[in-house]
């Protein structure tokens, strides 16, 4: 940890020297890629580009928590460097095409973490490890080989600096990480090139990774291993356990470079990608290009003020938020569809994968509707392409596959939120058709939901959570129906959006499991999660799309405030890292809860809690995340909340106001305008909004309209150490839900 603190100090010194020189700001120096790489964050520190298909990163473990992110800061050996990774997920997947340089006797298996000598893995030290957006380096202690990595969108670039030896090797292990390989093909094309395929059946049921790897130095010799046995004289092999060993004689300090292009389409596509993106052997040039690409994304939001640690955490959150969805298309426009077939994409369309929708509909995609509308159109077109190719919208799309992970049909809010906000450069008619199709399926318990208005707990696991999420999804469809003028369909989905009342028990005050015969399930313990997904009755007792309706069901504002107070104070039950009472920042169902006080006129409580979550439950350390980053959702929560607002119910064009963390935030919009938020006198104690102005006019509402942001404006908060309990207290000053003011989209 001392090494980690020294890293942070050095990073900040460089940043502020750079700023003092009044040069174009290098935001990458404010990114600490190791945040979240220990504990449950499941992030990785390797080289990638914004939304890139390649994430070239070290793998340190295959067991326990390490199998998810494949890198854990507290582990001391590196197995190798694979070309694909997922940011912050809770499932083991990807880690395709592992390479590692070694010297000495050839070892064909990773070996055991407790003893690096048992395999090709190597010990390493954090003092010899460096990383920044688009670049990673480390010294492999067992081999005295320095490894440097960078990447483009579809290709990885390795630089290995060897000692003097007549037994230098580069191992490519297609079988890694083991257990999922279905069809492995490896061919020596020439004395400087190999190609092949890794086809696997894992979480992504049928994943194709074609590759072409080119080497800067001709091989001294080349060997293939089949089932961990070297097979002499072979230049091509196929099976489920295939590896290549490339041998060299090197002098002290000799550099060998390896370029690897990947494709889900073909080796021809991988070669085209490599030729287009890394035509030369200029490693440093690719590093510079990667830094430039990251600065373009990171610079979309500029912050001033806050502590050094908060600035680092903010830009690291921006970094993590812009990792996915991932490009899933070759440079020639070809991609593998969710039907397993190869398609030719239309001009101007980029296909994406890695849609962790149950997580990312909440904050990540709403963030993109502000800072990246052009790419949001491509995201939606990608979802619609999956609808065309596979027959339905995905729940969790990965590498050309439906995974059907988690619950709900949350492609719907991503589409509806963009539509309501005026982002519509896609086939709107098809989008509306697709979202309705999701709601009319017979699977996932929907046949019960449509017939009796809820999912019975004695027929469906996680029945309450599914009922509530289907209600929200249907509300999103209703918003599109209203805009499109389809009155009967609006009535139908509006009615379904209120099915939550069928699982609301007015006696206990909770959303409860109910059997098929309409009886409450007993015994009932609100701290247990029997009818809930990754949560309990406290976390699932609120309805983000119809808070006003829930207030009426509960019996008034004070009832909702009472339950919110309980949520944030009751400590019994299962305890999670990153919790305040029953609020759990480490998981998505809690992410909007602190903002609900705005809906009952107690916005000062929202301000207090949001500041507490921002400052106490996040840190610029490897354990700095309270839970899985979940493809950027956790990071997006931090970005929006630290700016001072959050998307409580995506699908409407408003954001609830919280407590800004920085003195000044500037959002550089794609339309050339700027939205500036200032927090005068903000500090670690001055966390409460005393008053506000929008473009010089008094502003007393605890919500923002999306159009206020996109038109460009200046929102100024006056901050103080004591709450102003009268600010945004009146009903017409609170965020509205459908039972309140009319929701309409941008013209």
Q: Kindly state the tokens that stand for 41.
A: 């964050």
Measured CA to CA, the distance from residue 410 to residue 476 in angstroms comes to 10
- Can you give the three-state secondary structure of 606-642, one letter per residue? HHHHHHHHHHHCCCCCCCCCCCCCCCCHHHHHHHHHH
The beta strand positions in 117-203, using DSSP E, are: 122-123, 129-132, 135-140, 145-151, 155-162, 165-173, 181-190, 193-200
pLDDT value of position 219: 99
**Residue 188 pairs with which residues in a beta bridge?**
194
Per-residue pLDDT band at 455 (split at 50, 70, 90): very high
- The pLDDT tens digits for 596-629 are 999 999 999 999 999 999 999 999 999 999 999 9
Q: Kindly state the tokens that stand for 436.
A: 């309705």
Describe the strand order of the beta sheet including 645-646 as a list of residue ranges: 645-646, 654-657, 703-705
Q: Are 180 and 84 in contact (CB under 8 A)?
A: no
- pLDDT tops 70 at residue 725: yes
- pLDDT tops 50 at residue 21: no
For residue 269, what are the CA distances in angstroms to 260, 265, 329, 399? 12, 6, 9, 16
What value does the mean pLDDT take over residues 15-26?
Answer: 58
Q: Residue 191: count other Cβ atoms within 10 Å of its Cβ.
A: 13
Measured CA to CA, the distance from residue 628 to residue 606 in angstroms comes to 24
Of 343-352, 414-423, 704-713, the range with the lowest mean pLDDT is: 343-352
What value does the mean pLDDT take over residues 317-329?
Answer: 98
- pLDDT tops 50 at residue 22: no
Decide whether 301-321+546-738 matches 440-541 in CATH topology: no
Q: What CATH superfamily is the domain 301-321+546-738? A: GH92 mannosidase domain (3.30.2080.10)
Q: Kindly state the tokens that stand for 408.
A: 């709900």
- State the number of CA atoms in the 13 A half-sphere of 687 facing the CB: 20
Q: Are 222 and 244 in contact (CB under 8 A)?
A: yes
Tokens 């979202």: give the residue.
435
Strands 583-584 and 579-580: antiparallel
Q: Are 210 and 265 in contact (CB under 8 A)?
A: yes
Assign residue 131 a region (left: φ > 0; alpha: ψ between -120 and 50; beta: otherwise).
beta
- The pLDDT tens digits for 354-384 are 999 999 999 999 999 999 999 999 999 999 9
pLDDT value of position 738: 66
- pLDDT tops 60 at residue 8: no
pTM (predicted TM-score): 0.95
For residue 395, what are the CA distances in angstroms to 361, 405, 435, 511? 11, 6, 12, 24
- pLDDT tops 90 at residue 577: no
Q: Which has the closest alpha carbon to 360: 390, 383, 338, 339?
A: 383
- The pLDDT tens digits for 49-80 are 999 999 999 999 877 655 665 899 999 999 99
Per-residue pLDDT band at 4 (split at 50, 70, 90): low
For residue 738, what are the CA distances in angstroms to 123, 366, 464, 500, 707? 58, 19, 22, 14, 18
What value does the mean pLDDT take over residues 408-429?
Answer: 98
Per-residue pLDDT band at 739 (split at 50, 70, 90): low
Measured CA to CA, the distance from residue 209 to residue 95 in angstroms comes to 11
Q: Kindly state the tokens that stand for 195.
A: 């190609």
Q: Which residues of 473-490 are buried (b: 16+ CB within 10 A; e: fewer)?
A: bbbbbbbbbbbeebeebb
- pLDDT tops 50 at residue 745: no
- The pLDDT tens digits for 667-692 are 999 999 999 999 999 999 999 999 99
DSSP-assigned letter for residue 121: -
R_g (Cα) of the chain, nearest Å: 26
Measured CA to CA, the distance from residue 510 to residue 516 in angstroms comes to 18
Residues in CB range of 443: below 8 A, 6 or more apart:
none
Per-residue pLDDT band at 13 (split at 50, 70, 90): very low
**Candidates 3.30.565.10, 1.10.1380.10, 3.90.25.10, 1.20.1610.10; correct CATH number of 440-541?**
1.20.1610.10
Angle between helical axes of 373-390 and 428-439 (0-180°, round to 10) = 60
Q: How many residues does the chain have?
A: 747
Q: Residue 389: count other Cβ atoms within 10 Å of its Cβ.
A: 16
- State the number of CA atoms in the 13 A half-sphere of 412 facing the CB: 28
Q: Kindly state the tokens that stand for 348.
A: 């101007």
Q: Which residues of 152-180 are buried (b: 16+ CB within 10 A; e: fewer)?
A: bbbbbbbbbbbeebeebbbbbbbbbbeeb
SS3 169: strand
What is the rounded (10 degree) CA torsion for 395, 396, 402, 407? -40
Q: Are 511 and 464 in contact (CB under 8 A)?
A: yes
Of 497-501, 525-529, 713-717, the range with the lowest mean pLDDT is: 525-529
Structural fold of domain 31-298: Beta-galactosidase; Chain A, domain 5 (2.70.98)
Measured CA to CA, the distance from residue 747 to residue 545 in angstroms comes to 22
Q: What is the domain partition of the chain in residue ranges?
A: 31-298, 301-321+546-738, 440-541
What value does the mean pLDDT take over residues 463-481?
Answer: 98
Mean residue pLDDT of the chain comes to 94
pLDDT value of position 23: 65
Q: Residue 5: count other Cβ atoms within 10 Å of its Cβ.
A: 11
What value does the mean pLDDT take over residues 25-47?
Answer: 96
Q: For the chain, how far is it from start to end, CA to CA, in angstroms? A: 53
Measured CA to CA, the distance from residue 30 to residue 34 in angstroms comes to 12
- pLDDT tops 80 at residue 18: no
What value does the mean pLDDT take over residues 132-151?
Answer: 99
- pLDDT tops 70 at residue 141: yes
């Amino acid at each position: 940890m001392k090494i980690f603190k020294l890293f942070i100090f050095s990073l900040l010194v460089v940043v502020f020297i750079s700023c003092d020189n009044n040069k174009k700001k290098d935001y990458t120096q404010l990114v600490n890629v190791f945040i979240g790489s220990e504990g449950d964050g499941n992030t990785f520190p390797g080289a990638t580009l914004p939304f890139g298909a390649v994430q070239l990163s070290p793998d340190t473990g295959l067991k326990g928590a390490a199998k998810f992110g494949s890198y854990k800061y507290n582990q001391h050996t590196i197995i190798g460097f694979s070309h694909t990774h997922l940011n912050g997920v809770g499932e083991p997947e990807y880690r395709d095409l592992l390479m590692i340089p070694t010297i000495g006797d050839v070892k064909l298996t990773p070996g055991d973490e407790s003893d690096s000598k048992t395999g090709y893995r190597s010990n390493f030290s954090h003092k010899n490890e460096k990383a920044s957006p688009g670049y990673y380096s480390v010294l492999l202690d067992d081999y005295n080989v320095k490894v440097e990595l960078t990447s483009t969108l579809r290709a990885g670039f390795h630089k290995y600096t060897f000692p003097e030896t007549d037994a230098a090797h580069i191992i490519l292990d297609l079988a890694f990480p083991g257990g999922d390989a279905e069809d492995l093909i490896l061919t020596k094309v020439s004395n400087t090139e190999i190609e092949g395929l890794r086809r696997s059946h894992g979480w992504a049921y049928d994943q194709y990774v074609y590759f072409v790897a080119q080497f800067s130095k001709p091989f001294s010799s080349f060997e293939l291993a089949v089932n961990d046995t070297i097979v002499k004289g072979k230049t091509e092999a196929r099976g489920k356990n295939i590896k290549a060993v490339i041998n060299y004689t090197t002098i002290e300090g000799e550099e060998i470079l390896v370029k690897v292009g990947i494709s889900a389409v073909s080796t021809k596509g991988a070669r085209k990608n490599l030729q287009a993106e890394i035509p030369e052997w200029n490693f440093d040039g690719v590093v510079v290009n990667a830094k430039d690409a990251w600065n373009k994304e990171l610079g979309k939001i500029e912050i001033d003020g806050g502590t050094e640690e908060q600035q680092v955490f903010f830009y690291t959150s921006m970094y993590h938020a812009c990792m996915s969805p991932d490009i899933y298309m070759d440079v020639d426009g070809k991609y593998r569809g969710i039907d397993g077939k190869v398609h030719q994409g239309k001009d101007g369309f980029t296909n994406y994968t890695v849609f962790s929708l149950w997580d990312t509909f909440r904050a990540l995609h709403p963030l993109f509707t502000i800072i990246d509308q052009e790419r949001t159109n491509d995201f939606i077109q990608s979802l619609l392409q999956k609808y065309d190719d596979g027959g339905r919208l995905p729940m969790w799309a990965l590498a050309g596959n439906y995974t059907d992970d988690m619950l709900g049909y949350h492609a719907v809010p991503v589409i509806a939120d963009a539509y309501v906000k005026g982002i519509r450069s896609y086939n709107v008619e098809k989008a509306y058709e697709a979202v309705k199709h999701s709601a009319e399926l017979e699977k996932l318990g929907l046949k019960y939901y449509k017939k009796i208005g809820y999912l019975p707990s004695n027929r469906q696991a996680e029945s309450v959570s599914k009922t509530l999420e289907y209600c929200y999804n249907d509300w999103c469809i209703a918003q599109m129906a209203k805009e499109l003028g389809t009155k009967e369909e609006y009535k139908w989905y509006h009615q379904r959006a209120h099915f939550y009342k069928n699982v609301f028990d007015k006696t206990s005050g909770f959303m409860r499991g109910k059997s098929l015969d309409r009886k409450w399930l007993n015994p009932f313990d609100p701290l247990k999660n029997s009818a809930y997904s990754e949560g309990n009755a406290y976390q699932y007792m609120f309805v983000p799309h119809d808070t006003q309706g829930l207030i009426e069901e509960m019996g008034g504002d004070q009832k909702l405030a009472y339950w919110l107070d309980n949520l944030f104070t009751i400590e019994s039950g299962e305890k999670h890292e990153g919790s305040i009472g029953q609020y759990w920042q480490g998981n998505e169902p809690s992410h909007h809860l602190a903002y609900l006080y705005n809906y009952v006129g107690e916005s000062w409580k929202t301000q207090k809690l949001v500041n507490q979550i921002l400052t106490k439950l996040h840190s610029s350390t490897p354990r700095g995340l309270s839970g899985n980053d979940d493809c950027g959702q956790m990071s997006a929560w931090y970005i929006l909340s630290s700016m001072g607002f959050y998307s409580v119910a995506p699908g409407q064009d408003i954001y609830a106001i919280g407590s800004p963390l920085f003195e000044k935030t500037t959002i550089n919009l794609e339309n050339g305008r700027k939205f500036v938020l200032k927090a005068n006198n903000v500090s670690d104690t001055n966390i409460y909004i005393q008053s506000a102005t929008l473009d010089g006019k008094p502003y007393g509402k605890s919500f923002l309209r999306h159009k206020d942001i996109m038109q460009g404006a200046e929102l100024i908060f006056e901050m103080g150490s004591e709450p102003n309990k009268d600010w945004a207290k009146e009903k017409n000053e609170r965020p509205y839900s459908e039972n309140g003011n009319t929701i309409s989209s941008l013209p």
